[in-house]
Amino acid sequence: MKRALAMILAAAMAVSAAGCSGSNNSSSTPGSSSGSGTSSTSAGNSSAPVDSSSTASGTDETVSKVYDWPLVSEPTELTVFTKLLPQVEDFDTNKTTKWYEEQTGVHINWIQVPSADFTTQLNLSYASDDWPDIYSCELTTDQLLMMRNGGVIEPLDDLINNYAYWANQVFKDHPEYKDYLTAPDGHIYSLWYNDTGKHMYSTYKMFVKQAWLDKLGIKSPTTTTEFEDMLKAFRDQDMNGNGNASDEIPYMSSMSAWGGSPFYYLVYPFQLQSIRGVYKDDSGTWQLAGVQDGYKDAMAWIHSLYEQGLIAEETFTQDKAQFKAILNVGSEAETVVGCFTAAYQGEVIDSTAATIPNDYQVVEPLTGPTGIKQAATNGYGEFKPRCTITTACKNPKVAMQWLDYWLSKDGRIIQEYGVEQGVDYEILNQKSIYGDPTSYNRLFNLAALQNVVWYNHSTPRHDWEDVRYGAAAEDGSLDTLLYEAALVYEPYHVLTGIPALSWNEDEADAEEFTTLKAEIDEYVKSNSAAFAIGRRSLDEWDAYVKEIENMNLSRYLELVAKTYDGSKVDYK
């Protein structure tokens, strides 16, 4: 076992771990997960939601019955390894920790690892012989397989089938989740985290300064021709009204901003392009977008925009902070950026500046010269393995039920809004973004240092959409902007075929896949920038394609098929 664990540690150090990737003022906590997102029960309720068939704690439960609280009849402790984010003060004294211990009867001995050192400490932990009861954090499929091979974890199938009530409720509506989580050996080794945010389905969007469109008396562009004409107008006129008609920057972004690369939105009118760089074509064959004829046409158009002074060269070199310094200004007269690409406005706009997110409105995908109008999507938001129970755990049933609650709707409400209604959050008689007649208003700052909740990185999470969009629908609010922009792109989604999770039992293949992907992705990215600004002529396109082929492209696409087609859910 020591030898196996040493091998795991060596392999683990080469794997990048995901992050552990009217109001009612009466004091209450969420309690009934079967109702609407704004249901709640008295804070004095010391039991988990139960139906009429529920049996008492300590008897043989099945997933058709909801377990009672407390989960145990005598003091019980679990050791939980998790990530301490900068926004969380201390899990030991956290309000959610105290509340959940009161409800469940389970005391947690936390191993809190700061974000900066988390990957190293996680790898060291599961490669040692001193494991916690629970790893409550995001895990990659490679890590799960290594932990299985080292005896750190065993299949969770029986525990999930027999004791994870809420997981099984979700599986009824989303049977594909089970497929995602199932390893090649047919077993499940973790629970999950997902993000149903509609903005996650297509993250590369365009946003335009609405006041500039209004000044020109034109509508938001819908075609590449209209988009180019808009940029020319931004370039040639004094859009910010400061008397200088030459300081406007028609389009600028930052490759390092989330959704900021121009090589998606500006490529879509010509060629399907995915965040992984590959897609499955109509025949079911995997293709690299960056060598297709449509991609070449996109590069020619982007270069033409650059040559006309419509795209700032800094887009390809500056980091997000540099771009934000240009975008976030003190007055309208200082505004110089006409449009930019990003996942959403708040990624690059600080509301503390004179520029506010709502100043820039989403632009729908453009129709290209051949009639293509599309935005790539993988067909889901985000789905990752999260939380597993180790073979060191003496109370695996309790551990599973302790984790399972956080997949319920009430668990999700607590994760997002806090424990106590009237103190941590309030329910407003105002329509939610989702469309419910009431909405939530958080009464503490989740982004700042707080000790109310564990944040969203320390438990399993099923992202119930009515809770995800449970805040009040208000013009200019972050969630409203995210939701509204996503709806604009939704009709134009084209599936890439990329699965939510990929598994590869062959360690050599997995390592080769990772290496080839990194090399080819970087080569496409750097050459795309070179083509865009003319550092490399498109007359060299055939040579560029040959260079990528010589990087073992055929082998890479073979490994793409082996890795991605291993998913039991095929979106294409």
Q: Tell me the mean pLDDT in the region 29-44.
A: 38
Q: Is the pLDDT of residue 400 over 70?
A: yes
Q: Tell me the mean pLDDT in the region 387-408.
A: 97
Q: Is the pLDDT of residue 61 over 70?
A: no
Sign of CA dihedral 197, 122, 392, 82: negative
Predicted pLDDT of residue 104: 96
Predicted pLDDT of residue 481: 86
H or E stretch at 288: strand 286-288
- The position carrying tokens 């077993």 is 187
Q: Tell me the mean pLDDT in the region 62-80.
A: 84
Are 64 and 53 in contact, with CB atoms under 8 Å apart?
yes
pTM of the prediction?
0.82
Task: Retrieve residue 305's tokens.
Answer: 């925009």
Q: Tell me the mean pLDDT in the region 184-210.
A: 93
Q: Is the pLDDT of residue 570 over 90?
A: no
pLDDT band at 479 (very low <50, low <70, confident <90, very high): confident
Predicted pLDDT of residue 356: 82
Q: Tell me the mean pLDDT in the region 293-299.
A: 98
Residues sharing a CB contact under 8 Å with residue 217, sequence separation 6 or more, in sequence order? none
Q: Is the pLDDT of residue 29 over 70?
A: no
Q: Tell me the mean pLDDT in the region 406-410.
A: 96
Task: Please state which of the ranges 58-62, 83-87, 176-180, 442-446 shows the lowest mean pLDDT.
Answer: 58-62
Q: Are strands 191-195 and 382-389 parallel, antiparallel or unpaired?
A: antiparallel
C-alpha 79: how far from chain center: 28
Q: Which of 48, 47, 44, 40 is nearest to 24 (CA)?
A: 40
Predicted pLDDT of residue 276: 93
Q: What is the DSSP track for 503-555?
A: ----HHHHHHHHHHHHHHHHHHHHHHHHHHHTSS-GGGHHHHHHHHHTTTHHH
Mean of the per-residue pLDDT values of the chain: 88
Residues sharing a CB contact under 8 Å with residue 44, sequence separation 6 or more, in sequence order? none
Predicted pLDDT of residue 247: 96
Residue type, 226: E
Predicted pLDDT of residue 358: 82
Instruction: For 99-117, write each residue's pLDDT tens digit.
Output: 999 999 999 999 999 999 9
pLDDT band at 63 (very low <50, low <70, confident <90, very high): low
**Cα separation of 413 and 466, whole Å?**
10
Predicted pLDDT of residue 474: 86
Give CB contacts under 8 A, 24+ apart, made by 297-301.
Answer: 297/270, 297/271, 297/369, 298/263, 298/266, 298/267, 298/269, 298/270, 298/271, 299/528, 299/531, 299/532, 299/538, 299/541, 300/538, 301/224, 301/266, 301/269, 301/270
Q: Is the pLDDT of residue 16 over 90?
A: no
Are 24 and 426 in contact, with CB atoms under 8 Å apart?
yes
In this structure, how many other beta carbons lie within 10 angstroms of the beta carbon of residue 541? 18
Task: Retrieve residue 428's tokens.
Answer: 């407003």
3-state SS assignment for residue 43: coil
Predicted pLDDT of residue 44: 34
pLDDT band at 18 (very low <50, low <70, confident <90, very high): very low
Instruction: For 314-340, write each residue's pLDDT tens digit.
Output: 999 999 999 999 999 989 999 999 999
Q: Is the pLDDT of residue 401 over 70?
A: yes
Q: Tell me the longest C-alpha to C-alpha distance in the chain.
A: 79
Q: Is the pLDDT of residue 151 over 90?
A: yes
Predicted pLDDT of residue 6: 42
Q: Is the pLDDT of residue 437 over 70?
A: yes
H or E stretch at 173: helix 165-173
Query: Dihedral, CA atoms, 379, 380, 385, 387, nearest 10 degrees?
Result: -160
C-alpha 85: how far from chain center: 17
User: Residue ranges of the domains in the chain?
Assistant: 2-19+76-198+382-484, 201-377, 507-564
201-377 homologous superfamily:
Periplasmic binding protein-like II (3.40.190.10)
pLDDT band at 57 (very low <50, low <70, confident <90, very high): very low
Q: Is the pLDDT of residue 23 over 80?
A: no
Predicted pLDDT of residue 30: 54
Predicted pLDDT of residue 330: 87
Predicted pLDDT of residue 64: 56
Q: CB-hemisphere CA count at 13 Å for 352?
A: 2
b/e code 86-113 from CB counts within 10 Å (16+ = b)? ebbeebeebbbbebbeebbbbebebbeb
DSSP letter at 207 equals E
Q: Tell me the mean pLDDT in the region 269-292.
A: 96
Q: Is the pLDDT of residue 248 over 80?
A: yes
Decide if 2-19+76-198+382-484 and 201-377 have a common fold. Answer: yes
- Its CATH architecture, for the domain 2-19+76-198+382-484, is 3-Layer(aba) Sandwich (3.40)
Predicted pLDDT of residue 317: 95
b/e code 469-498 from CB counts within 10 Å (16+ = b)? bbbbbeeebebbbbbbbbebbeebbbbbbb
Q: Is the pLDDT of residue 487 over 50?
A: yes
Predicted pLDDT of residue 8: 41
Task: Retrieve residue 278's tokens.
Answer: 């590959």
Give the rounded percent of residues in the chain with a pLDDT score beyond 70: 87
**Cα separation of 107 and 377, whole Å?**
42
Q: What is the DSSP track for 366-426?
A: PB-TTS---EEE-SSSEEEEEEEEBTT-S-HHHHHHHHHGGGSHHHHHHHHH-S-BTTTEE
**Cα separation of 542 and 296, whole Å?**
10
Instruction: For 543-564, write each residue's pLDDT tens digit.
Output: 999 999 999 999 999 999 999 9
Task: Please state which of the ranges 64-68, 412-416, 471-475 shows the lowest mean pLDDT.
Answer: 64-68
| Residue that wins the pLDDT comparison between 53 and 87 | 87
C-alpha 444: how far from chain center: 23
